[in-house]
Structure 1
Amino acid sequence: MNAELTKYGFFWVPGNEFQELVLSWKKKAERIEPDAVYLHHPAHATLFLFYGEKQKEDEYISLIEKKVPIFKSAEWLVFENDAVTGGDTLTIGLEKTEDWELLQLNLAEGLKPYILKLIEYPNEWNGPFKISYQNYGFPFVGKHWLPHVSIASFKNKSFIQEAVDTPIKINEINCGELALYRIEGETHTRIYAS
């Protein structure tokens, strides 16, 4: 009997102040382009995506670190002509530490035996993205991973410029938690948070 596949995401979920900042920019973006990719996703930074089985959720949860590393700073980061969406993706980039790289790698290695299907993308990967995709089914594991919290991916360059010209003022960047989400289409359901 074949197992039913479910898509999961391990995320860093920001604390209240950071989350409010992200949601306020998502509301502004919604007025410009209401169907923008990522617009209706919860505020989060993706550590890892994979397909697994619902009955093994407790095993996935056991891989979540209880102590969350810190991010050093946050600033606007734009992925122009984003390989995943085809649009320009406005994000708040997070400066990672070696602790984050190690946490992500340990998570990917721990999940490797549970991965039943590769995440599908509309493009071919090269270089470190290809190696990561071949090893883990997710192209963003390793030093090339740029942790970020997405606002939206869309075509309006003037809106992106408005955001980039606005300084990010956050006092609580390091308040946050690691969480496991079940992803069904655009619906993200929190299963567990540290």
Structure 2
Amino acid sequence: MNVELVKYGFFWVPGNEFEDFVLSWKQKVEAVEPDATYLHHPVHATLFLFYGEKQKEDEYVSHIEKKAPIFKSAEWLVFENDAVTDGDTLTIGLEKTLDWELLQLNFAEAIKPFIIKPIEYPNEWSGPFKISHQNYGFPFVGKHWMPHVSIASFKNKSFIQEAIDTPIKINEINCGELALFRIEGETHTRIYAS
């Protein structure tokens, strides 16, 4: 039997108001830099990425909690000179709680036996990122993980400043669901949502 290797993303997908806010900013970025990284990705916060066998998707889904914990706040967060994209990544940072940390760690531990190979990045990791990458094939598992929803990664610093000078007004931050996506290049296909 041939094993079909697939990249998967375990995501938090926000409710409509939050999603609409992010999509409006993605449209603004597209007008300035149409080839920006992450621009056409679905609105989400990444909890975990891994490579697994397509035939075992039901097993992966069985390890997803049915209800997402609560994020208490959201604010602009910029990853300057992002090691993954080589640009400045404009995101909305989400306040992490112990519940989120445990949810991520429990999923990573449950999926660990199914991971076929680590996620590849264009850089070398150090410290907790290296340890996480060695243990889980993904460098962002643990206390150093910063949950966020990416808008795009690009080079226009004045646009980033315009964004972070704009208040985030989202009433329904706690609406959302946990989901598993199949990732093929730039195409993200939702295969499960809680």
State TM-score, norm by structure 1: 0.99
Aligned CA RMSD, in angstroms, stands at: 0.6
- Paired residue type of 1:148: H
> Structure 1: 5+ residue runs without aligned partners?
none
Name the counterpart of 1:46. 46
The answer to whether the Cα contact below 8 Å between 2:90 and 2:150 also exists between their aligned partners in 1 is: yes
Map of 1:131 onto structure 2:
131
Could you tell me which residue of structure 2 aligns to residue 6 of structure 1?
A: 6
Alpha-carbon distance between aligned partners in 2 of 1:138 and 1:118, rounded to the nearest angstrom: 6
* 1:69-98 deviation digits (Å, cap 9, x = unpaired): 000100000000001000000000000100
Partner in structure 2 of residue 70 of structure 1: 70
Asked if 1:25 is matched to 2:25, the reply is: yes
CA distance in 1, matches of 2:180, 2:4: 18
Number of the residue aligned with 2:176: 176
**Correspondence for 1:105:** 105
Q: Displaced runs of 4+ in structure 1, greater than 4 A? A: none
Structure 2 distance, partners of 1:15, 1:183, is 21
Question: In the TM superposition, what is the alpha-carbon distance from 1:3 to its structure 2 partner?
Answer: 1.5
Superposed displacement of residue 4, structure 1: 1.9
For residue 77 of structure 1, give the secondary structure of its aligned residue in structure 2.
strand
Shift of 1:2: 5.0
How many pairs were matched up? 194
Return the alpha-carbon distance in structure 2 between the equivalents of residues 181 and 87 of structure 1: 25
* Conserved? CA contact 2:4–2:55, under 8 Å: no
CA distance in structure 2 between the aligned counterparts of 1:56 and 1:115, rounded to whole angstroms? 11
Once residues 34 and 68 of structure 1 are traced to their aligned partners in structure 2, the CA distance between those partners, rounded to angstroms, is 33
Superposition deviation, residue 67 in structure 1:
1.7
CA apart distance, 1:155: 0.2
Report 1:56-95 matches (<5 A): 56-95=56-95
User: Structure 2 unaligned runs (5+)?
Assistant: none
Q: TM-score, length-normalised on structure 2?
A: 0.99
